[in-house]
Amino acid sequence: MPIAYVLINCDLGHEEEIINELMKIPEVKEVRGVYGVYDIFLKVEADNPEKIREVITNKVRKMERVRATNTLMVIEGQGGK
């Protein structure tokens, strides 16, 4: 199953609001607030890479107060666990 990890920068003080909205997206399997350069980490799983792209482009990136994302697509067959 295709997987992507997304790192999100958002407006200061709106992390919880965004996390709550992200959790409503069925393809989002994990959401965490994080310290460091990024504010939120999420894991997206879907049946195909096109669906992952659609979720990130049309749902995650278009959310209010999301300023930037960095997407890491998993190479299937490399690594695990």
Separation in Å, CA 26 to CA 37, 77, 81 = 26, 24, 22
> Quick check: 80 pLDDT over 90?
no
> Quick check: 81 pLDDT over 80?
no
Task: Give the predicted TM-score (pTM) of the model.
Answer: 0.92
pLDDT of the residue at 77: 87
pLDDT digits 0-9 by tens, 12-67: 999 999 999 999 999 999 999 999 999 999 999 999 999 999 999 999 999 999 99
pLDDT of the residue at 79: 87
